[in-house]
Amino acid sequence: MTSKTLALALYEEAVAAASADRSVPPNLPPLPRGRLVLFGAGKAGAAMVRAAIRHYAAIDPDIGARLAGVAVTRHGYACDTSPLPVREVGHPIPDAGSVAASEEMLRLAHDAKEDDLVLMLLSGGASANLTLPVAGLTLADKQSVARALLRSGANISEINTVRRHLSRIKGGKLAAAVSPGAIVTLAISDVPGDHPAAIGSGPTVADPTTLADAREVVARYRIDLAPHIMAALSDPANETLKPGDPAFAHSSYKVVATALGSLSAAGEMARQAGYEPIVLGDRVEGEAREVAGTHAAMAREHADAGRRVAIISGGELTVTVVGNGRGGPNQEYALGLALAIEGDKRLSGLAGDTDGTDGGSGSATDPAGAYVDSTTAARARAKNRDPVADLRDNNSTATFEATGDLLTPGPTLTNVSDFRVVLVDITKA
């Protein structure tokens, strides 16, 4: 097995470990006396709803007669959720469909009766998919906030702190709409630490952060928001629900798939392939190109010590955008790694978003990341690309288009953050 074949196999195993079909059915609650109201949101939203419907249909073939709900997912991430509808909406920038789908979900939540069970199937991407601006803000305002946050270098938890406080559905407000009825949330986590308030911006759970915290994020990253948006972040009416709120009296929450679980699955596969797995965890953060340099140095130390290892990590890296190129955090990490390991035949690596896309135009056909080895930078130059200039211009996609090393799995229908591996094969010294 070549290093590239192994790296791709490790990525695929990480994705499979977080699939809806594997993670949802074992955790589904019993059927209620009344209706079953199924909500799905995020990149795995439709796939999770499909898995739940299949499970309950095997128990009750007539389940459709007492089924209600809607699945909301990113464009390109839909699947058959019949008899329930699926709404494909914008990501990472919300669109008019995001607002319409959120209004539909909130309306169905208000209609739920005490004998009904609302089952929220939540996954990464739901923060953009469920967009319902607070009073005084428009969709255009929310889009401007999303763009500013994504360009700022703020991490996903910080971004979601701001999002929650500008929303009528996030920060526990969906649970409040269901109350006093029962709501069960099953979540596929895409955030380091798997904190429920951060996954999809926590529409069904209490939020420990405050409006002041949201304003602090804006100030720390010097994000230029319009005065009326800043006013919304100071309006007590926009505060999220806090722990102990009666809205959560009949609410339960369980994380059913995590980045750490996917990293562990990939680590076991690496072990079986003859590599010692070194799992750095699911909370790796920082500027993508800088983290790549750190991982390259770590890999070289293991290589010099004669150890055949697979350095595996998760967590969402950031990119402070200063150029006008194409790419995302995984491709930028990969390009930084390619430059750091150039000429060292012992080292190779791959970085990819487990949802199947990494930055780019917002299309489901965008690449997920890239594979690199000791020859990547030289091969790019042979194709008239300057990898150093491309990195400086945030133009990593162009480099990997030239070398043919883009990772393009298409929508995976799940999302547990990013997956990175650096392979150290001392037999290639």
CA–CA separation, 54 vs 401, rounded Å? 40
The whole-angstrom separation of Cα 407 and Cα 347 is: 18
Query: Tell me: domain 3-11+260-428, CATH 3.90.1150.10, correct?
Result: no
The segment(s) of the chain belonging to CATH 3.40.1480.10 are 3-11+260-428
> Which regions of the chain carry the CATH code 3.40.50.10180?
20-257
**What is the spatial distance between Cα 205 and Cα 199, in angstroms, rounded to a whole number?**
10
Strand 418-424's sheet: what is its strand order?
A: 276-279, 309-313, 418-424, 347-353, 369-373, 406-407
Q: Report the candidate in 188, 350, 306, 318 with the shortest Cα–Cα distance to residue 253.
A: 188
Could you give the count of Cα atoms lying within 13 Å of 259 in the half-sphere of its Cβ? 30
User: What token pair was written down for 278?
Assistant: 């070194």
| Fold of the 20-257 domain | Rossmann fold (3.40.50)
- What's the pLDDT at 209? 96
**pLDDT mean values, one per 10 residues, the chain (429 residues):** 96 98 97 96 97 97 96 96 97 94 97 95 94 97 94 87 96 96 96 90 96 97 96 97 96 97 97 98 94 98 98 92 91 98 98 90 86 98 98 96 97 94 91
31 vs 34: CA distance, rounded Å: 8
The length of the chain, given as a count of residues: 429
Between the alpha carbon of residue 316 and those of residues 119, 193, 257, 263, the distances in Å are: 27, 11, 16, 13
Among the residues of 209-310, which ranges form H helices?
211-220, 227-232, 259-272, 288-304
Q: So what's the pLDDT on residue 210?
A: 97
Q: What is the DSSP string of 286-355?
A: SBHHHHHHHHHHHHHHHHHTT--EEEEE-S--B----S-----HHHHHHHHHHHHTTT-TTEEEEEEETT
Note the pLDDT of residue 1: 84
Query: What is the pTM assigned to this prediction?
Result: 0.89
Rounded distance between C-alpha atoms, residue 304 and residue 323, angstroms: 36
Largest CA distance in the chain: 67
pLDDT at 153: 83
